[in-house]
Structure 1
Amino acid sequence: MFAPTDPFYPAFQILSFLGFVLVLIPLPWHFQAWNSGTCLFMIWTALSCLIAFVNSVVWANSVDDVAPVWCDISTRLIVGISVAIPASSLCINRRLYKIASCQTVSVTQADKRRAVLVDLGISLGIPLLQMPLQFIVQGHRFNIVENIGCYPTTYNVALAYPLSYLWPNVINVVSGCYAVCTLRAFLRRRAQFSQFLSLNSGLTATRYFRLMALASIELFISLPIVTYALYLNISHSPIEPWISWDNVHADFSNILQVPAIIWRADSHSEASVELTRWTGVICALVFFAFFGFAAEARKHYRFAFWAIVKPCGLTPPPNGTIPFPRVKLPWNKSNVPPSLPYFPTPQSCQEALRLPLRRQPH
Structure 2
Amino acid sequence: MHASDPTFPLFPILSLLAVIVSFIPFPWHFRARNIGTCAYMLSTGLFSLVEFINSIIWADNVNNVAPVWCDISAQVIIGAGVGITSSTLAISRQLYNISVLKGQSKTPKEKRIDIIINSIVMLLHIIVQPRRFDIFEEIGCQPATFNTVAAYLLYFIWPILIGLCSFVYSVLTLRNFYIHRVEFTKVASTTSGMSPSRYIRLMLLVFVDMFCNTPIGVFAIIVSARAAVLPFSTLSQAVDFTKVEFITASEWKADPLYHAIVEINRWVPVFCSFVFFGFFGFAEEAKKNYRIVYEKSKKLLGGGDRKMTGSKPLRPSRGN
CA shift at 1:3, angstroms?
Answer: 3.5
Contact 1:137–1:248 (Cα < 8 Å) also in 2: no
Partner of 2:230: 240
In percent, how many aligned pairs have the same letter? 41
CA shift at 1:289, angstroms?
Answer: 0.7
Mapped to 1, the partners of 2:70 and 2:292 lie a distance apart of: 34
Mapped to 2, the partners of 1:302 and 1:150 lie a distance apart of: 40
Contact 1:25–1:301 (Cα < 8 Å) also in 2: no
Equivalences for 1:147-296 in 2 at 5 Å?
147-234=138-225, 236-243=226-233, 246-249=236-239, 251-296=240-285
Equivalences for 1:311-350 in 2 at 5 Å?
none
Task: Give the TM-score normalised by structure 2.
Answer: 0.88
Unaligned 5+ segments in structure 1 are 107-113, 317-362
Mapped to 2, the partners of 1:256 and 1:303 lie a distance apart of: 50
Partner of 1:5: 4
CA shift at 1:200, angstroms?
Answer: 2.8
The Cα offsets for residues 103-126 of structure 1, whole Å up to 9 and x where unpaired, read as: 2514xxxxxxx624413422x221
Partner of 1:118: 110
Contact 1:6–1:147 (Cα < 8 Å) also in 2: yes
CA shift at 1:162, angstroms?
Answer: 1.6
Equivalent residues, number: 301
Contact 2:146–2:235 (Cα < 8 Å) also in 1: no
SS in 2 for 1:150: strand
Give the helix-richer structure, 1 or 2. Answer: 2
Structure 1's consecutive aligned runs of 4 or more residues displaced over 6 angstroms after TM superposition are: 302-307
Mapped to 2, the partners of 1:99 and 1:116 lie a distance apart of: 17
CA shift at 1:245, angstroms?
Answer: 5.7
Task: Give the TM-score normalised by structure 1.
Answer: 0.78
SS in 2 for 1:159: helix
Contact 2:2–2:59 (Cα < 8 Å) also in 1: no
The Cα offsets for residues 269-307 of structure 1, whole Å up to 9 and x where unpaired, read as: 110000000000000010011001023323545677899
The Cα offsets for residues 234-289 of structure 1, whole Å up to 9 and x where unpaired, read as: 2x11111111663241x332211111111111101110000000000000010011
- Closer, same or farther in 2 for the Cα pair 1:140/1:301, shift >3 Å? farther
SS in 2 for 1:141: strand
Mapped to 1, the partners of 2:177 and 2:191 lie a distance apart of: 16
CA RMSD of aligned residues (A): 2.2
- Closer, same or farther in 2 for the Cα pair 1:304/1:58, shift >3 Å? farther
Partner of 2:136: 145
Letter matched to residue 37 of structure 2: T
